[in-house]
Structure 1
């Protein structure tokens, strides 16, 4: 079945002692080198029923989180580079940006991928449609479970959270996003003059109450949009949690996109709006590329030069967002794509 290691559930960096983190890192590096040695050939049948070997992408995730000027860190994130079943190679990365508290974002970080694993299609026919249905069901379930828990508290919790989730099944990327966290892909293309240039692909769209369809849905449900916010308060029109706004047309149905990875793809950025308030998607991609292409890098034990560059790019991108005056929490996940 769709089994994966529950021990790889998210652990906040603060909660882990340094030594166990070092050991884990070392263990991961050994595993990574072993994985890199096998090119992950996978056999797939083409239209004519001939079996061809496809090389699957190797994905590695890096994360940087900054509290900014907020009193509390309300973001949460998950990196599961290997959540595989016997059917497919599956990876999952997610960023959750909480508001009104950190409980909804933490709940989503802890539970969403477990719900996903339970609902993941066992059937190899029609897999595309089934994965999309599975994502929609997973978001609905996670939202319902959190709202149940939130309303049973005294006083009831009012937390809510956005979500940007990337599920990679073999070489197909499925993106489910809710609210204003975003996912972008960097793809390299050769221009007419022979130069390699980056193209920034936005995977998903934001859900703000100012968007026409979103505003109409809220008004039909009896809610209002004032100053670009639901009831003049909530900045997003879709979220997990936010129980008091669910009767005003705020829903937990994510926007779904899919995109097949190619050998020209370099990386994916998942980030909360804390990054995108001060960076356009294109600027963020170019910022990362610049660091990946810089001259020499410092050697770090157990990490390849490429890994050091990605780690550095991820940390510097989050750091730069704070420097540019983003007062919000900033969480960035950078996923490198290698074929």
Structure 2
């Protein structure tokens, strides 16, 4: 069962060539034969090598550094919020996991209370719910953890919002990257996005490939519109009831009865040394940049300043310039950008 919308493995393009059935069967036989010959030899070495293998894996993990830039644009209020936690303190970290990191962007609408609430509380819920089960079920447990975390954060905010006089009507998108050792899990609601810059070899040259790590949720998408209509809501002018631009969010209590949900879309991506950075941003950036343009804008700055500045300064400069360029191009919305460097 496909638990996540898995992305291509490092070194495998999204249009990977499939092995013909006959060749695949022959390859399986060869591997099986080779495995039987080596099984006995490897068996007696397995126990003494286990400690060494674990140590090598931990030393070979990527190092993540987050950089953020936020611009208010022409709005009266900054309604975005963000979180950068390179080392998330998990209540009970499983023995086979070395490190958990968390980075997130929240784009509020109708006010800033929902985005601020999600930024302050979602990762605490996640840390408490993070699975401590066996490695074989980890994928399934992480999926359940993320779905439950978003649901509880939404319920907690709606409970607080409804207790106010008058009731809060704020809502927020959410794009969260959970990094478990060298695997990225991305959970998102709404139209904030996450993309990965992967440097693949092509004809002897390194080529930048932009991979989407999230899925936009707006009421013009067929599946989203059908859910809203089944719940008794309507879509007019591309908006729920002609007002709300997104079909999934945290908060927006007045639209929950119309099919707006807080169930995130989930993606999983195995990271490796060919991955350069992850870019998280609210829709303010992507109103004036395509994903490819944003990634190449950052890469150009990193390459231009490579001989002049330290890596941290280069990434910070690229992040700041990207947000600034979005405003310069005429984006009147709030713009928040998180640039997450991946180093080995």
**Contact 1:70/1:328 (8 A) holds in 2:** yes
Deviations 1:51-82 (A, max 9, x none): 32221000000000000000000000000001
Structure 2 match to 1:39: none
* 2:169 is the alignment partner of 1:182: no
What is the alpha-carbon distance in structure 2 between the residues aligned to residue 312 and residue 107 of structure 1?
29
C-alpha separation in 2, matches of 1:297 and 1:63: 23
The aligned counterpart of 1:287 is 297
Q: How far has the Cα of 1:336 moved from its partner?
A: 0.2
Contact 2:305 2:314 in 1 (8 A): no
Structure 2 alignment gaps of length 5 or more: 1-45
1:234 to 2:239 alignment: no
Q: Which whole-Å deviations, capped at 9, do the CAs of 1:228-283 have from their partners, x for residues lacking one? A: 00000000000000000000000000000000101100000000000011100010
Per the TM alignment, residue 319 of structure 1 is displaced from its structure 2 partner at its CA by 0.3
Instruction: State the alpha-carbon separation in 2 of the partners of residues 278 and 95 from structure 1.
Output: 18
Secondary structure of 1:293 counterpart: helix
- Matches of 2:132 and 2:82 in 1, distance apart? 26
**Which of 304, 310, 321 is equivalent to 1:316?**
321
Please say if 1:102 is aligned against 2:107: no
Q: Is the Cα–Cα contact under 8 Å of residues 178 and 239 in structure 1 kept in the other structure?
A: yes
CA distance in structure 2 between the partners assigned to 1:295 and 1:314 by the alignment: 13
Q: How many residues align?
A: 286
Quickly say closer, same or farther: Cα 1:296–1:238, change in 2 above 3 A.
closer
Partner of residue 42, structure 2: none
More helix, by proportion: 2
CA distance in 2, matches of 1:73, 1:97: 9
Deviation at 1:180, TM superposition (A): 0.1
Does the aligned pair in 1 maintain the 2:306–2:314 contact within 8 Å? no
Provide the C-alpha distance between the structure 2 equivalents of 1:134 and 1:295, rounded to a whole number of angstroms. 41
1:196 and 1:84 mapped to 2: Cα distance?
36
1:153 equivalent to 2:158? Answer no
**1:122-141 alignment to 2 at 5 Å?**
122-125=132-135, 126-141=137-152
Q: 1:122: how far off?
A: 1.2
What is the CA–CA distance in structure 1 between the aligned matches of 2:285 and 2:169, rounded to whole Å? 24
- Aligned match of 1:224 in 219, 225, 234? 234
Q: CA deviation at 1:179?
A: 0.1
- Asked whether the equivalents of residues 297 and 309 of structure 1 are also in contact (C-alpha less than 8 Å), the reply is no
- The alpha-carbon deviation at position 195 of structure 1 amounts to 1.2
Match of residue 162 from structure 1: 173
Distance 2:307 2:78 in 1: 31
Q: What SS does structure 1 have at the residue aligned with 2:151?
A: helix
TM-score when normalising by structure 2:
0.81
Q: 1:218·1:224 contact (CA, 8 Å) conserved in 2?
A: yes
Contact 1:274 1:329 (C-alpha < 8 Å) held by counterparts: yes
Residue 162 of structure 1 contacts residue 238 of structure 1 at CA under 8 Å; is this kept in 2?
Answer: yes
SS at match of 1:77: strand
| 3-state SS, counterpart of residue 320 of structure 2 | helix
8 Å contact kept, 1:297–1:308: no
Determine the C-alpha separation between the residues in 2 that align with 1:235 and 1:159: 13
The alignment status of 1:337 with 2:334, answered yes or no, reads no
- Quick one: which of 203, 206, 215 aligns to 2:225? 215
